[in-house]
Amino acid sequence: MAGKKQIILTEVALRDGSHAIAHQYTTEQVTAIAKGLNEAGVPYIEVSHGDGLAGSSLQYGLSHTNEMELIEAAVSVCTISKVAVLLLPGVGTVSELKQAAQLGARMARIATHVTEADISAQHIASAKEIGMEVVGFLMMAHSAPTAKLVEQAKLMESYGADVVYVVDSAGALLPHKVKERITALRQHLSIDIGFHGHNNLSLAMANTLAAIDAGATRIDGSIRCLGAGAGNTQTEVLLAVLERLGMYTGVDLYKMMDLAEQVVAPILMVPQEITRDNLTLGYAGVYSSFLLHAQRAAQKFGVDARDILLEIGRKKVVGGQEDMIVDVAAELARRKEASHANR
C-alpha cells in the first residue's frame, strides 16, 4: 500500500442492482452478497430500494422485502464493510434515515437532481447529527453545465457533506466531460470527490478512470455489473484494472470474482449486457432506472421502448416522473394508430 494511490470503493449492487431485478431482493440474497463483499474487504456496501429509502411504491416498484430488513441482514454479516443507504429527499424522509442508522447503517448518500442540491440541506444536516458519514449525490450530471455542477456541489459541501459524487445516471457522459467536471470540482471543493457511472455507452470503465485521473478518490461499482440499465462500472473488473495501474483498494480480487460468478450471476434476470434499450438510455440521456418501466410500457402499448426513451430524453424527464413514461407510451400508441387509420 505504501506510496500507492488509494481508491475507496462503494459496492452498489444491493441498491442500484435492485432496479435491474425489479426490487425483488430476498433477505437470503442480500445476506449472501453482503457476507461475500465483507469477506473480500469492500469498504462500503449500499443497501436500499433502488430509488432509495422508502422507494417501495407503485410509482417506483414494490420491494419484495422491506428494505429495513435487508439493511439489518447486511449489517449482521458486516465486520469490516460499512453499510450505506441512499435517500432521495421527498421519497425518503429523515425518519427512515434514523431508522436505518439505528439498524447500523453508517453512511448516508443524499441524492438530488444535479440542479436541485438545495433540497438536501435538511437531510445532510440530520445525517451528520446522527453521526453518519454523508455523501452528496448529484444525479443526471450530464444534463447540467460544469459551472452549475460546481455551484450545486458547493451547496452540498456547505450543508456538511463529507464527499460529493458526480453521478452519471444515464450513462451518457463521455470521458472528456467526466474529466472536465471532476477537475472543476477538485479545484473548487475541499472535500473528497466521487464518481458513479453507468455502462450504457460502454464507457463506465473509461469514465471511472478519467474521474480518478482528475482527482476522484471515491468510486462506485456493481459486482457482475448488477446495476440499472447496462449496470455500473463492474467492480471486480475495476479491481483488476486498478491493481494493474498500481492503485490500492484493499479488496481481494479473487474473492470478488468468485462472489460474482457463484452468488451474483444466478440472481441476474438476464446476463448483463448492452442491449438496444440500454444503449438508448445512454444515447438519449435517460435515467438508467427508467429501463424496466419503459420496457413494460412498450409491451403494454405495443410501441418500441427506444421511441419511448428518446421522447423521455427530449422531454428531459427526471427521477420521480416515472408516470410520464406511461403517458409517452400512450401518446406514441395513439399516433401510431392514427397513422395506420390514415393509410
Ligand X SMILES: CC[C@H](O)CC(=O)C(=O)O
Which residues in this chain contact ligand X in the complex, by CB under 6 A? 16, 50-51, 111, 139, 167, 169, 196, 228, 288-289, 319
Grid coordinates belonging to 96:
427512515
Q: Which does 111 bind (CB under 5 to 8 A by kind): ligand X, Mn ion, none?
A: ligand X
Q: Which does 149 bind (CB under 5 to 8 A by kind): Mn ion, ligand X, none?
A: none
**64 in a known ligand binding site:** no
Q: Nearest approach, Cβ of 291 to ligand X (angstroms)?
A: 11
Q: Nearest approach, Cβ of 151 to Mn ion (angstroms)?
A: 22
- Judged by CB, which is closer to ligand X: 148, or 336? 148
CA neighbours closer than 13 Å in the CB half-sphere of residue 174: 2
Q: Return the number of other C-beta atoms located less than 10 Å from residue 147's C-beta.
A: 10
Q: Running DSSP on this structure, what letter comes out for residue 261? A: I
Q: Nearest approach, Cβ of 204 to ligand X (angstroms)?
A: 11
Q: Outline where the chain has alpha helix (H).
A: 16-20, 27-40, 67-77, 94-102, 121-129, 146-159, 175-188, 204-213, 235-244, 253-259, 276-284, 291-301, 305-314, 323-341
- Judged by CB, which is closer to ligand X: 19, or 35? 19
Nearest to 257 by CA among 242, 272, 237: 237
Residues that bind Mn ion (CB under 5 A): 16
Q: Nearest approach, Cβ of 338 to Mn ion (angstroms)?
A: 37
299 burial level (CB within 10 Å; 0-12, 13-18, 19+): exposed
Query: Whose grid coordinates read 500500500?
Result: 1
Q: Which does 235 bind (CB under 5 to 8 A by kind): ligand X, Mn ion, none?
A: none
Identify how many contiguous H helices and E strands the chain contains and give both numbers: 14, 8
Q: Which does 319 bind (CB under 5 to 8 A by kind): ligand X, Mn ion, none?
A: ligand X
- Judged by CB, which is closer to ligand X: 224, or 255? 224
CA neighbours closer than 13 Å in the CB half-sphere of residue 145: 2
Grid coordinates belonging to 137:
449525490
DSSP string, 25-45: --HHHHHHHHHHHHHHT-SEE
321 burial level (CB within 10 Å; 0-12, 13-18, 19+): middle
Q: How far apart are CA 176 and CA 153, in angstroms?
A: 19
Q: Tell me the three state secondary structure of residue 102.
A: helix
Contact in structure between 310 and 267 (CB atoms under 8 Å):
no
Q: Which does 18 bind (CB under 5 to 8 A by kind): Mn ion, ligand X, none?
A: none
**293 in a known ligand binding site:** no
The question of whether 123 is a catalytic residue gets the answer no
**196 in a known ligand binding site:** yes
- Judged by CB, which is closer to Mn ion: 77, or 92? 92
- Judged by CB, which is closer to ligand X: 77, or 289? 289
Q: Nearest approach, Cβ of 338 to ligand X (angstroms)?
A: 34
Nearest to 149 by CA among 179, 99, 195, 114: 114
**15 in a known ligand binding site:** yes
Q: Nearest approach, Cβ of 284 to Mn ion (angstroms)?
A: 16
Nearest to 288 by CA among 329, 227, 234: 227
**169 in a known ligand binding site:** yes
- Judged by CB, which is closer to ligand X: 183, or 288? 288
Q: Which does 50 bind (CB under 5 to 8 A by kind): Mn ion, ligand X, none?
A: ligand X
- Known catalytic residues are 19
Annotated binding site for Mn(2+): which residue ranges?
A: 16, 196, 198
Annotated binding site: which residue ranges?
A: 15-16, 169, 196, 198, 287
